[in-house]
Structure 1
Amino acid sequence: MQLGFLTACLPDDDLAEIARWAVEQGFDALEVAGWPSPDPRNHIRVDRFDEAERDRVGRIFAETGLTLSSIAYYENNLHPHQGDQVNAHLRRCVDAAAALGCPTVGTFVGRDPGLPVRDNLERAAGVFKPLVAYAEDHGIELVIENCPMKSWHPDGYPGNLAYSPELWEWMFTLGLKLNYDPSHLVALGIDPVSAAMPYISEISHVQAKDTEILPEKINRFGFYGPISGEKGWYRFRVPGLGQIAWQQVIGALRDGGYDGVVSVEHEDPVWSGEPEKVRTGLGIAYRTLRHLVRG
């Protein structure tokens, strides 16, 4: 396995700068943000990907020796008004990944919040079958992160229909793969090791993020969280600062035959705000995971 991180946590930095820093710290890989402009999370300019952009990005990875593990574009592919635009950009991400020799593109299933889950699943089949076929024709796997995206639903219900093993099984029938992130399982009361073990052959990418449970908050709001805009009963942390047993998680992946990239997704509010704080958080994650990932 290799250890990397998702570049979205450093939106104001140039990809070349991020890559140089990653090598200096000992990282092996980068999962590179590919949102369209004006979103600053566009370290690969997928929306204007041409020969010059291909050469620029390819040169960065050739010179640093880093692995490009995935192009990241986590948006709502079932959005009732913007879904077509999201789907179109996802195809552009596939084109860029194929040109760069990158094996995966990461996204969300999403949801139309105005429809019940069963209707969304039917709609998703129609949306994703051609997307999966397009990716396969280009030698790319579409990987879905198991984040509930509760902020996408007006009542805080899951806005990304990929949050449980039951839904993973449904995704796999469409040809989608899993970008496994154990942090979201903890926040749903699911044991991340037990949940992952039957499906490791379907995991094509891994994101490493930790979860800290806040007891005083869950005692006030309960499992479903607050009805106001107040923060809920857990928060994401960099690996090593939450309650996930990373030795067990990485051990289960290794025992199941996973040998790909473990990519730190930095969403820790304590180690955010300034680029140096973000880098400190990435350093904490690196020291937590390096000996586990590399064996």
Structure 2
Amino acid sequence: MKFGFLSGCLQNMTLEEKMAYAHKVGFTTLDVSCWPKENSRDYSGSDIDVENLTDENVEKIKGYQKKYNLEFASLAYYDNMLHPDPDVRKKYADHLKAVIVAAGRLGTPLVGCFIGKDQTKTISENFDEFEAIFTDFVSFAEQNHVKLMIENCPMPGWQEDGLPGTISYSPELWDEMFKRIPSSSFGLNLDPSHLHWLHIDYLQCLRDYKDRIFHIDAKDVIVDEHKFHYYGIFGKKLNRVHEEDLGFWTPVIPGLGDINWSQFYNVMKEINYKGDFSIEHEDKRFADNNTDVKKGLEFAYNHLNPIIHEFK
């Protein structure tokens, strides 16, 4: 199994420097952050300038892959594709298509994105817009020999009240997604941590959606059940410290949270999962600088690598 991490967690490093570091630790793949050069998103990165990618750049990157024995599991660009402002939505759509083209040129099989949500419209209206927009995205991906995958984060920071800012975070919504776009080139980047704090059975999701799971994020979470019962299912509403502060869950490095990764891996084997496995580092305790980020990545690597290689 190819094992890697999402590259955006390391800041102020070139793509080659990140690849050299990944190879040194023992990672065999990367999810490459491909946000626009100018953006203000947290946990984002722009390790490939997809909008200005030249043939020379492509050959140089392929040379790095060979030099460091690394494949790219996916190119990653996660923004609100149903943004209510049509100008912003077009900008996001144009960039996503540039990421898809870049993935095709690099031979990278997957592009990861969000669906998002237009907060001014009903859920039914959002799904109608999703169907129109993503039918085009998926067709465009197929033309470039790429598959499109959706990560299941609710994005509560995209609404002032902390309610879900996407329409793609639960099995109910996945069923509607795949009913409207049944293409085998459209699937999931499954993140069990979000399912856990939403109190959704992530092991059952692995089993039920095994044919739609293209990629798995290794991210952990601590759920404080006492605070959950205090704030309720909609989360904290007053005195929030940051936009995603719902009061009862905290993202952490794999091995420091609630997910039983040995159990999780056993179900991955049960469903004969053949995709890549990738750490998404959002643990604020290991985020002050790249030295701390690397400590977090290496802790997660040392916890997960023996499990996914069955203690060999």
For normalisation by structure 2, the TM-score amounts to 0.91
* SS of residue in 2 equivalent to 1:74: coil
Residue in structure 2 matched with residue 78 of structure 1 by the alignment: 82
Superposed counterparts of 1:25-64, under 5 Å: 25-39=25-39, 41-64=45-68
- Distance of 1:138 and 1:208 partners within structure 2: 27
1:99-123 alpha-carbon deviations (Å, 9 max, x no partner): 1000000000110011121110111
Deviates most, 169-178 or 179-188: 169-178
Q: Which residue of 2 aligns with 1:285?
A: 300
Counterpart among 73, 77, 80 of residue 69 in structure 1 = 73
**For residues 165 and 253 of structure 1, what CA distance do their matches in structure 2 show?**
18
- With 249-258 and 118-127 compared, the bigger mean Cα shift is at 249-258
Query: For structure 1, which segment, 213-222 or 78-87, has the greater mean C-alpha deviation from structure 2 after superposition?
Result: 213-222
Asked if 1:188 corresponds to 2:211, the answer is: no
1:220 is displaced (CA, Å) by 3.6
Conserved 8 A contact 2:111-2:146:
yes
What is the count of residue pairs matched by the alignment?
A: 295
| Letter of the 2:145 counterpart | G
TM-fit CA distance, 1:83: 1.2
Distance 1:56 1:267 in 2: 29
Q: Distance in 2 between matches of 1:240 and 1:275?
A: 20
Q: Would you say 1:18 and 2:28 are equivalent positions?
A: no
Question: What do you get for the CA RMSD once the two structures are aligned?
Answer: 1.3
Cross-structure match for 1:269: 284
**TM-fit CA distance, 1:215:** 4.2
Deviation at 1:217, TM superposition (A): 3.3
| 2:250 matches 1:235 | yes
Offset, 1:233:
0.8
1:77–1:83: 8 Å Cα contact kept in structure 2? yes
Q: 2:275 aligns with which of 252, 257, 260?
A: 260
1: CA distance, partners of 2:11 / 2:91: 22
Counterpart amino acid of 1:71?
L
Residue 146 in structure 1 maps to residue 156 in structure 2: no
Q: 1:182, 1:225 → 2: CA distance?
A: 19
Quote the residue 1:2 is aligned against. 2
Alpha-carbon distance between aligned partners in 2 of 1:248 and 1:201, rounded to the nearest angstrom = 20
Aligned partner of residue 251 in structure 2, secondary structure: strand
Whole-Å Cα distance in 2 between the matches of residues 245 and 54 of structure 1? 39
Show the counterpart of 1:135: 141
Q: Alignment partner of 1:20: what SS?
A: helix
Structure 1 unpaired stretches of 5+: none
TM-score, normalising length from structure 1? 0.96
8 A Cα contact 2:11 2:290, kept in partner: no
Q: 1:246 is matched with which residue? A: 261
Q: Which AA in structure 2 matches 1:222?
A: G
Alignment partners' CA distance in 2, 1:37 and 1:59: 23
Q: Secondary structure at the match of 1:41?
A: coil
Q: Deviations over 1:18-75 (max 9, x none)?
A: 1111111111110000001123710011121111221222121111111100000000
Give 1:112's aligned residue: 118
Match of 1:206 in 2: 216
CA distance in 2, matches of 1:99, 1:217: 48
8 Å contact from structure 1 (residues 171, 177) kept in 2: no
Between stretches 1-10 and 219-228, larger displacement belongs to 219-228
Give the partner amino acid of 2:100.
V
